[in-house]
Structure 1
Amino acid sequence: MTTLTLSDARALVVVAMTGTGHTPDEAAIIADHLLDCELRGLSFGGLARAVSIVERVRATREPPQPIRVVAETPVSATLDGGDRVGYLVGIRALELAVAKAGAHGIALVGARNTWYTGMFSYYLEKAAAAGLAGMIAGSGPAVVAPHGGTEGRFGTNPIAFGFPAAPAPVIWDIGTSAVMYGEVVLKARLGEKLEPGQAYDAGGAPTLDPTAALAGAFGVWGGHKGSGLALVVQLLGMLSGAGAAPEGISDCGFLMLLIDPAALTDADDYRRRVTEFAASVRATTPVEGGSAIRVPFDRSAACREETLRRGTIDVADTVVAALRKAAHE
């Protein structure tokens, strides 16, 4: 592992992103998102994802197009991402949704023709800071098998919900696959194995080999219930106009719903009640020998605080070498 200061890690991503045609402002948006993944202990979505972005951009013949609003009402909008990386499209969608929800109490913004939108909790944390509650769902290429199957039909299909509270929002952000795409790619880079039950090879046999899994399918999370949720998330993402089974890493669907509590109730009182309810959940007596009860996002917030205090992150040597190579090309 290579130990990097936070500033060096961010600078490395910025240089790699500008080297693949992003403007300095775009590179900064991407770097901030990826670094927040590292701060929260989600290394597969951090600097390792920057390597995947470089590879995707260089493997694409057609240049990306500008992000466009292709349909709009006072409370909704649909974006065509122009085949740009989703960190940029997601932020544009967030800005539109926050403005519309602030003006009208509710907003629904969808995006298509994009890829790698990152942590949905990243956007919902910003929405919660603006006093908004919300939900994000995302569809993608068919890499996850439905319950009982061995062929990909769903994307990894994350879904997240966020609510304003103090000192940190309550955010539940999950993928509906047994293993996330970024985790499989990172394990393939590092020569590591998957866990049993997470994936199938192209012939439908269970596999621990991440490279074989990328050519086959991932398992779904949560049995038949998780499979049903994955299907619903795929359909929600497709509301943006995204394809049901796009080819390769492309045309992911992104659907964001934001609600201003003030449209329904006293916003300050709602925030207070969410805060109090979260505290009551944390105060639940744990099972014998168990650890203290956490509310979703508690782990991320604590991990980020500790990483910021430490001021460094540890990154796989292979990832650092690939980014340094990209930065010098």
Structure 2
Amino acid sequence: MITIEVIEMKEHMIIQTTDLVKSFKGKAAVNGINLSIQKGEIYGFLGPNGSGKTTTIRMLLGLMKPTSGAIELFGNDVKRNHLHALQRIGSLVESPSYYAHLTGRENLEAIRKIVKVQKSRIDEVLSIVGLTADANRGVKEYSLGMKQRLGIAAALLGNPELLILDEPTNGLDPSGIHEIRDLIKNMPARYGITVLVSSHLLSEIDQMASKVGIILKGNLIFQDKIEVLRNRAKSQIKLRVQDTDRAKALLLTKGIAVSQENGALYLEENKDEHVTNVIRMLIHNDISVYRVEEERKSLEEIFLELTSGGDLHHVGHSAS
């Protein structure tokens, strides 16, 4: 039974890296990271520019050789046959390549001959990325968002099981970002494609990823489901009262967890009944309550905390 479970887990594991390292002139750009991406996930690979995202992606795609560590794609070590694994992957790294003087369809036709798929596949991918109506227009007339969608269409031509997108919304206007985001969100459920998408913007990853890995200075400092990151944004109740010091002392003697900062009190427990009891207790002891507010850290604030350099440990890790 255990053997069967291990085999099933291996079959569902699309990307697995073990202590993956890439050094340049003795300095690690990627420092022993352990990515874990399962079938059907949209994995948001998040980090500031220069954190090691593109270097990692290049190693996954065989464009760069690791200094040390292992890469498994679709359950197999790539040292045995990286080329076979790459045939199951579509990718868009940095800016898409295209012939500006050709139409969108003609660009895809040129790639189709290389990947050797049926001609009907061109219409399929054009439909997926929403470029059917613009297929016969010259690419030089395309907006930046349309060019990016054409690049994704090219990556999809070979019917990939895994799609790797490096900063796909970079430089796009809000409309273009929305189009790419919706396109990516549909990939697992509608087309059965697992997605690894990198970005330096948490707001983008938050709106499309089911799992997130945060990389900083080559170190993977967080890896887990997006909900785990959201749960770190737990709310606190902020109280402005008449006598902060006396109110704090009173609550502590009653066993209520409370902290004081910038002239305000913060309750760790935020349930309505608890807050009501605290307010009743303060008023009963002749301490006026001026204001009650709920404060919640945004995901952006948590991201900044994690990437400030003071929290370089794995705050969350899941192999699932």
TM over 0.5: no
Bigger relative contact order, structure 1 or 2 (CA pairs below 8 A, ≥6 apart) = 1
Higher share in strand: 2
Using the size of structure 2 for normalisation, the TM-score is: 0.26
Using the size of structure 1 for normalisation, the TM-score is: 0.26
Rg larger in structure: 2
Higher share in helix: 1
